[in-house]
Structure 1
Amino acid sequence: MKNSNSHIFKGTIYAISAGVLWAFSGVFGQLFFEEYGGNALWMTTFRLTVAGIILLTLSLIQKPSEFLAIWQDKRNYVPLFGYAIFGVLMVQLTFYACIQVAGAATATVLQFTSPIFLLAYLAIFRRQKPNLKSLILVLIAMTGIFFLTTHGNISTMALSPLALLLGGLSAVAVVSYSLIPKRLLQTYDVMNVTGWGMLIASIVMNCVHPVWHLDFKLTPESLLLALGVAVIGTAIAFMFNMIAIKYVSAIVAEVCAAMEPILAAVFSIFLFDMPFDVVVGISMLVTLVSVILLSLEEGKA
């Protein structure tokens, strides 16, 4: 078998866990913006800065001798900066920008078209013919996400050219941060690679919107919510996703991240009074079953 069952199981659990933590992050972010205002650019800068510092601090404590190892080989510079700019930073900016232009439903659906972009890349540039069963499961999962996010009503999606552009770039960015650091993750510690990527992205964002420029109501509660987004939904979630990519293919990791809209819907039912009906229930079930079957299919490869 291409991958041992234990590696497939471990990678799937890490990928699903990343989706769960991103869902928590979405709830924290929604509460932060609704209750305390603020700017999505500041939140992006803050979460990347805090997450990068946390991960690099832990990396330094755990493996001090390897802390700067990634910088000692100039061949690492291009993939590391590519991962930071075209992966981590781009996915943050384009997703939030799409939300501002077209709403959360549109942004979520468009971002979760990323498996299609990934399959196209593998087919065109790496001559990897997609497994038919895996392709069907990906399409079923995407259909479940569409119905879960839009409730089957396409009129809720603001499909302007700008929204399509931003959503498409967001999906491409998901593919970028899944593929670009693959070699680095096989050579260096996951925490170290992810930490440097986030710190580089945060430096760029601090040039755009410095973290010390506060444009929201600063209270202990608002700061706690912002830290929740940075620590739980960024540092830990991205690290889990990068660990998953070490054990399973990027396509499995991306589809497993579909736990994010599922959990976000569950939280919205209890916290934001979103109605729960047959469509929502079936959409959750279809998406979850597709994720499980896709993981099992990977184990046969």
Structure 2
Amino acid sequence: MKATSNNVMKGIFWSAVASAVWGISGTTVQFISQNQNLPSDWYLSIRTMGAGVILLIISLFMYGKKTFGVFSSWKTFGHLLAYAIFGLMANLLTFYISIQKGNASATTILQYLSPLFIVLGGIFIKKQRPLSTDMIAFVVALVGVILAITKGDFTQMSIPMDSLLWGIGSGITAAFYVVLPKPIAKDHPPIVILGWGTFIAGVLFNAYRPVWVDPPVITGGVVLSISTVILLGTIIPFGLLLYSSRFAPSDVISIMDALQPATTAVLSVIFLGLGMNWVEVVGIVLVIVAIYILQRGRKNMEQVGYREEDF
């Protein structure tokens, strides 16, 4: 029992580090979008292509020929393409624009609502009956988001309306990011799916805006910032998450995702001068609590033997 407990604690620790690293990446994206004067399309092209190439190289070392298994059938490739376009591409684009027009803290909170959008999709698209915890989580999350984006002043928002809409889009596409690769996730390693998805997204971004055409002025700060986002926003946290899954169950690991918006909020205050009052802090906490309620409710449903198809 002691060894098992130690393993779970090890999994919790590394998943917490992964979420904190993602939070650092969100703050870095805000710095890039608002201070480096980089065209959004050029930034997305170089980020996705760079991360995709590195992930595929890692996949080749880890899995060899299995890296190309996703091209074994048109059906598998179709799922991969949908994941690359509607999951990865759409999420990166909406996340970046929302931060560029608002701030990383608010956008990260909105993206963190993705589990709620997954449940809502099941309710309205698959006509699944919601659990009582789903409804509680929805109300708590709604109150939390309202407090976070108004800071208690209900006559105005702390972020522009377009940033809010792009942020909601980021949450919806983050849900696509989770759902779309599921049909092929059982047959192919996660890092292979992520690597090819990111690479395909990079190719498509470059088809629209090649990185070598009219590039911005490349300074040391630009290189450092983009490298930080590629490493801290994709490669390092994903690797840590894979490692943590060897020690702790997925529901425990998913709860540690709460550190991402919290880390982004704290770093935005410290390094980017973002003002934050106690009402906004309460709002962030409520959103985190809502996702916890949602995840625990779904986990309890599985433990008592219900199936998703029954709803």
Interval of TM-score (by shorter of Structure 1 and Structure 2): 0.7 to 0.9
Aligned to 1:286: 286
- Distance in 1 separating the partners of 2:151 and 2:291: 20
CA contact (8 A) 1:7 1:248 kept: no
- Secondary structure at the counterpart of residue 63 of structure 1: helix
Q: How many residues align?
A: 292
CA contact (8 A) 1:48 1:199 kept: yes
Deviations 1:3-44 (CA, angstroms, capped at 9, x unpaired) = xx9999999878765543332112222333444321222221
Give the TM-score of the pair, scaled to structure 2: 0.77
CA contact (8 A) 1:14 1:241 kept: yes
How far residue 258 of structure 1 moved from its aligned partner, in angstroms, is 4.8
Identity of aligned pairs, percent?
25
Aligned to 1:158: 160
How far residue 243 of structure 1 moved from its aligned partner, in angstroms, is 9.2
- Distance in 1 separating the partners of 2:126 and 2:13: 27
Correspondences of 1:61-76 after superposition (within 5 Å): 61-76=61-76
Aligned to 1:83: 83
Correspondences of 1:142-157 after superposition (within 5 Å): 142-153=142-153, 154-157=156-159
- Secondary structure at the counterpart of residue 157 of structure 2: helix
Name structure 1 gaps, 5 residues minimum. Answer: none
Aligned to 2:123: 123
Aligned to 2:189: 189
CA contact (8 A) 1:145 1:258 kept: no
1:204 matched to 2:199: no
- Distance in 2 separating the partners of 1:7 and 1:139: 35
- Distance in 1 separating the partners of 2:280 and 2:131: 29
CA contact (8 A) 2:23 2:264 kept: yes
Task: Tell me which amino acid in the other structure corresponds to 1:158.
Answer: P
Aligned to 2:173: 173
CA contact (8 A) 1:8 1:295 kept: no
CA contact (8 A) 2:109 2:287 kept: no
Deviations 1:138-190 (CA, angstroms, capped at 9, x unpaired) = 54245334433542344334336xx6764454333112111110121111101
How far residue 79 of structure 1 moved from its aligned partner, in angstroms, is 0.7
- Which runs of structure 1 show a deviation greater than 6 angstroms over 4 or more consecutive aligned residues? 5-15, 239-245
Deviations 1:64-91 (CA, angstroms, capped at 9, x unpaired) = 0311111112220111000000100011
Correspondences of 1:32-43 after superposition (within 5 Å): 32-43=32-43
User: For residues 164 and 280 of structure 1, do their structure 2 counterparts lie closer, same or farther at Cα, with a shift above 3 Å needed?
Assistant: closer
- Secondary structure at the counterpart of residue 68 of structure 1: helix
Aligned to 1:48: 48
Task: Tell me which amino acid in the other structure corresponds to 1:180.
Answer: L
Aligned to 1:59: 59
- Distance in 2 separating the partners of 1:242 and 1:213: 36
- Distance in 1 separating the partners of 2:214 and 2:8: 43
CA contact (8 A) 1:114 1:175 kept: yes
Quick check: 266-275 or 281-290, which moved more?
281-290
Aligned to 2:260: 260
Task: Tell me which amino acid in the other structure corresponds to 1:81.
Answer: L
- Secondary structure at the counterpart of residue 126 of structure 1: coil
Correspondences of 1:85-124 after superposition (within 5 Å): 85-100=85-100, 107-108=107-108, 111-124=111-124
Name structure 2 gaps, 5 residues minimum. Answer: 302-311
How far residue 96 of structure 1 moved from its aligned partner, in angstroms, is 2.5
CA contact (8 A) 2:110 2:145 kept: no
Aligned to 2:273: 273
Deviations 1:260-281 (CA, angstroms, capped at 9, x unpaired) = 3321110022112334543244
User: For residues 243 and 119 of structure 1, do their structure 2 counterparts lie closer, same or farther at Cα, with a shift above 3 Å needed?
Assistant: farther
